[in-house]
Amino acid sequence: MLKILENIQLKPYNTFGISAVAREFAEIRSKDDAIELVKSGVLKGKLHLVLGGGSNILFTGNFDGIVINVLNKGIQLIEEHDDYVLVEAAAGEVWHDLVMWTVAQGWGGLENLSLIPGSVGAGPVQNIGAYGVELKDCFHSLKAIDLETGKEIQFNKAECSFGYRDSIFKRELKGRILIHAVTFRLSKRPQLKLGYGAIKQELEFTGINKPTVAEVSDAVCRIRRSKLPDPAITGNAGSFFKNPVVSATSAKILQNQYPGMPVYPQPDETIKLAAGWLIEQCGMKGYREDDAGVHPKQALVLVNYGNASGFGIISLAGKIQNKVLERFGVKLEMEVNIF
């Protein structure tokens, strides 16, 4: 039976480890719980937030509404074909647990996304990505509950309007739906993507020339652990800023000024820049103001060293944005959702 709790401390529910209190808090452990929540009318006229693993969120104060914590579980094979499978995962599953489950089967598609914090349901909202792969690359469909009507809706890939760290769920449908299951199309004959970041070098270092899906996943995990802080130890939300995308002309001008600047050409002929590199060039890598800081190994990650407030993190983020804009003429956009 669905229960609505009151005055719940949200520090354990966000990877930044920011203290904030939710006026009301509902735990959703099944599709029926979600439907009951809507039908009860408790959401009407109230601010609400669907919360998964809390890995891409920053609270700047108490939440004067109802937090909906999605906790349903389950991973299952729903279709198998000669070349591919369809796997459905409940939105409340830990993302890395799903990746490990698929890797154990030898199915390709998610291995480059190993060790990304958060839940399965949050993945499509952000169109999570890492090392040259985005969730949309192996996304098939998802099921959601309309938080206004209580009806179940299904979305295919086209209907999700995926973009770079973006989707329809961050824009037109923000706050309107609750994702309760996601289906992925995974390959039984994986085409591994090794050209982005340090994956290839990591594999070569360990003497692996013809890697398996599991070996790629292991390499990604080693790289991430060497560069990124563990949220269980140091509060953070992973990449705080998006990598900015600029025109080819703008990129050429910047390259002439900064020959060592990394650039990543995109299919639409725009150029993606490395936000972490830009921040580091501004002397902000390892910078700290009280308990809010920039991680010393990865400038793209802002951290809470213990008792930072949400406003402290935002203040630091603003300072970084101003410095990058002043030096490079490039505006950094926050990837993290602010509440």
Task: Categorize the per-residue pLDDT at 145 as very low, low, confident or very high, splitting at 50, 70 and 90.
Answer: very high
Once rounded to an integer, what is the mean pLDDT over residues 109-126? Answer: 96
Q: Encode pLDDT of 176-185 as tens digits.
A: 999 999 999 9
Predicted confidence at residue 200, as pLDDT, reads 85
- Number of other residues whose CB lies within 10 A of the CB of residue 172: 9
Instruction: Give the residue-averaged pLDDT of 191-208.
Output: 85
C-alpha gyration radius of the chain: 20
At residue 177, the pLDDT reads 95
- Average pLDDT score over the chain: 95
Domains in the chain: ranges and CATH? 4-70 (3.30.43.10), 75-187 (3.30.465.10), 235-338 (3.90.78.10)
Helix (H) or strand (E) holding 318: helix 310-328
Query: In terms of DSSP bridges, do strands 177-187 and 84-90 run parallel, antiparallel, or are they unpaired?
Result: antiparallel
In the annotation, is 326 catalytic?
no
Closest-CA residue to 324 (of 260, 236, 219, 254):
254
CB 115 within 8 A of CB 225: yes
- Tokens encoding 266: 């995109």
Two tokens, residue 143: 């099921």
| Cα–Cα distance measured from residue 46 to residue 41, given in angstroms and rounded to the nearest whole number | 10
Q: Is 165 a catalytic residue?
A: yes
Query: Catalytic annotation on 79?
Result: no
Helix (H, G, I), strand (E, B) or coil at 55: coil
CB-count exposure of residue 210 (10 Å: 0-12, 13-18, 19+): exposed
Q: Are 300 and 49 in contact (CB under 8 A)?
A: no
- CA-to-CA distance for 203 and 209, rounded, in angstroms? 7
Q: CA dihedral defined by 275, 12, 287, 113, rounded to 10 degrees?
A: -30
Residue 223 to residue 215: CA distance in whole angstroms: 12
**pLDDT tens digits for range 312-332:** 999 999 999 999 999 999 999
DSSP letter for each residue of 281-298: HTT-TT-EETTEEE-SS-
Considering the candidates 114, 141, 167, 239, report the single residue annotated as catalytic. Answer: 239
Q: What is the pLDDT of residue 2?
A: 86
46-60, 191-205, 284-298: which has the minimum mean pLDDT? 191-205
Percent of the chain at pLDDT > 70 equals 100
pLDDT of residue 156: 98
> pLDDT digit string (tens) for 34-71?
999 999 999 998 999 999 889 999 999 999 999 999 99
Please pick, among 165, 167, 224, 309, the residue that the annotation labels catalytic: 165
Looking at residue 52, its amino acid is G
